Structure 1
């Protein structure tokens, strides 16, 4: 098991310099890694077994029937339920009547690919932001995140940083707007992913989590498991051959899908996680909007990062900054040692002639 997921370790490596925030990391770190793990899990035959096993009373070899039903998909009879037909061995298994409808199950061929594709989509905003950011934050920090720096080196780096901030003041608007755009993309992506999975699972996903909760609380004698309906473990398959006289012969097979034991759990977890992530991302956008329109909130946030600096001095500096300049300083405050960041703010206030 650890050999399978060993390649995922590189995806959870944390950079010493943070260029985003915790909500952003929930998308490209937590969700992407989760989807990659799920994709690997559904392809691990040594732990799950064969993805499909079909049984038929005809003389067709089992491996041929398994391959055929895997390629051409299986189906269930929608009317074959205990509520409509009385006793049935399995939900969806029964003789197909003239007016009965069938539900094809072809999604299981694509689950691993879809999960991996979704993992890539959750990494797109991070890729865009990293490209636009261009290593600026790491360059400005200049190893000032560690207090154990030689005095001479620390003074030289602080001087360079203050000079950069003074000469490039009011030139960081695009830098901040690019990050805010990526936050919007994160929210749009997670909402789109919910509807994409809903389409992929024949419009059953949006209510999947609530149905599972209702199922757990309903009467055991009259309830129908939504996981068994959406991810059936036993399905039907029809294989057609020609007889000696050229007549078409239909061979009915009963197929067991062990893979759906994993699929149903994967999508239950995804439903709750994506809904939670969408709520968190929506709240983060509201917070970001308040930061953009409220100078007073920006002052409070910068003061929280510069706790050791005089509050009046931080307020005076914030009033001289544009949104992009404030964002750069806030990012530096997250990554730099508090004592060094205090000195930077003091030196910057002198450089831009701020009067308290």
Structure 2
């Protein structure tokens, strides 16, 4: 029950929220980082600390000269080891043997796995935290009352809110470039973060993580007689530990212990899943960066987004919006389109393109609409300077 309580705390990262309750300020790939990936990492952290799943994480046996609880504690807080070259068929377990003169592979990572998973979960949440503070609720405020289908809204009220929104977009035209810079900067952070975490795990596991997934795939395709499980090589289930103590005559006695690392049965599954997930996430994050770069550098891409993504196909309207707005204005429109129905957003774009087309060479007339009731804090956004 305690485990279920901890897992339920993680569920908040992936819960579904209705658009009318919370504004959407990013895209699906962005949410894969801070909601799904952070939730996965925090859940894994909980699993590896839940002793009721596997019992004690380490259990060592010896000749009985050292109490079991003392030996278990010692081997857990120090390290255990295996012999990398002891993998032939004449041994009881891979990595174990009697030749202690050869090179040993020490395993101390298991002490740090929960801390590392929690730290990674925080790393994947940081870009969202930066963007949320940079964004300061702008999309939420200017789309208040218009998110979702607005099916129950009176037509007069809906038209009034649409006019207020369009007037705000006209009054703050070309003033959202700093806003867009923060968004694209956090997208870059997401990509750098997932790639950096791949190399971070590779260092953490002694250079075994980069090829971990491919080795596991190759292992499944080999003959059973000729293969050695790479998961056991990276996360051995049976290791050795050496305990030294003084004997009755004052000489140092060496006690060899055979240790069962039950926790590694979870670790090997967790890290093979993270390998595939990080590879997929890095690929889609890279594609999103290419998409964002095309949107910034190529106006034709913005036209295609308006026509296909939002089904806004008026030639003059698309021309006015793309040619007479900057990337910051377009990003704000793109985020607004994710929070409104296509019909309502199309009406907003129609009105905005009409005003841009008719009044592009003349100063805009002062608005007769009172902005304060709908956007109480909107004044601070009008003070943004163009970057």
Question: Under a length normalisation based on structure 1, what TM-score does the superposition of the two structures give?
Answer: 0.95
Secondary structure of the corresponding residue to residue 13 of structure 1: coil
Please name the residue that 2:145 is paired with.
Answer: 143
Secondary structure of the corresponding residue to residue 226 of structure 2: coil
Please name the residue that 2:64 is paired with.
Answer: 58
Q: Does structure 1 residue 113 correspond to structure 2 residue 119?
A: no
Out of 57, 66, 89, the residue aligned to residue 92 of structure 2 is: 89
Secondary structure of the corresponding residue to residue 207 of structure 2: coil
- Given that 2:219 and 2:228 are in contact with CA atoms closer than 8 Å, whether structure 1 keeps it comes out as yes
Q: State how 1:157-168 maps to structure 2 within 5 Å.
A: 157-168=161-172
Larger mean Cα displacement after TM superposition, 209-218 or 1-10 = 1-10
Out of 254, 257, 265, the residue aligned to residue 253 of structure 1 is: 257
Please name the residue that 1:339 is paired with.
Answer: 343
- Given that 1:35 and 1:119 are in contact with CA atoms closer than 8 Å, whether structure 2 keeps it comes out as yes
Q: State how 1:266-277 maps to structure 2 within 5 Å.
A: 266-277=270-281
- Given that 1:77 and 1:93 are in contact with CA atoms closer than 8 Å, whether structure 2 keeps it comes out as yes
Structure 1 gaps, min length 5: none
Deviations 1:267-295 (A, max 9, x none): 10011111111111111111111111110
Distance 2:5 2:144 in 1: 37
Distance 1:303 1:354 in 2: 21
Please name the residue that 2:304 is paired with.
Answer: 300
How far residue 355 of structure 1 moved from its aligned partner, in angstroms, is: 8.2
How far residue 353 of structure 1 moved from its aligned partner, in angstroms, is: 4.0
Please name the residue that 1:174 is paired with.
Answer: 178
Larger mean Cα displacement after TM superposition, 331-340 or 311-320 = 311-320
Deviations 1:17-40 (A, max 9, x none): 211001111111111111111111
How far residue 126 of structure 1 moved from its aligned partner, in angstroms, is: 0.7
How far residue 210 of structure 1 moved from its aligned partner, in angstroms, is: 0.6
- Given that 1:308 and 1:339 are in contact with CA atoms closer than 8 Å, whether structure 2 keeps it comes out as no
Q: Does structure 1 residue 123 correspond to structure 2 residue 122?
A: no
Structure 2 gaps, min length 5: 361-387
Q: State how 1:196-345 maps to structure 2 within 5 Å.
A: 196-307=200-311, 310-345=314-349
Q: Does structure 1 residue 42 correspond to structure 2 residue 42?
A: no
Out of 67, 74, 77, the residue aligned to residue 68 of structure 1 is: 74
RMSD: 1.7
Distance 2:76 2:208 in 1: 22
- Given that 1:8 and 1:37 are in contact with CA atoms closer than 8 Å, whether structure 2 keeps it comes out as yes
Out of 27, 32, 36, the residue aligned to residue 26 of structure 1 is: 32
How far residue 339 of structure 1 moved from its aligned partner, in angstroms, is: 2.1
Distance 1:298 1:181 in 2: 19
How far residue 259 of structure 1 moved from its aligned partner, in angstroms, is: 0.4
How far residue 329 of structure 1 moved from its aligned partner, in angstroms, is: 1.0
Secondary structure of the corresponding residue to residue 233 of structure 2: helix
How far residue 309 of structure 1 moved from its aligned partner, in angstroms, is: 6.1
- Given that 1:58 and 1:251 are in contact with CA atoms closer than 8 Å, whether structure 2 keeps it comes out as no
Please name the residue that 1:154 is paired with.
Answer: 158
Deviations 1:126-156 (A, max 9, x none): 1111111111111111121232212232122
Secondary structure of the corresponding residue to residue 59 of structure 1: coil
Distance 2:166 2:195 in 1: 41
Secondary structure of the corresponding residue to residue 225 of structure 2: coil
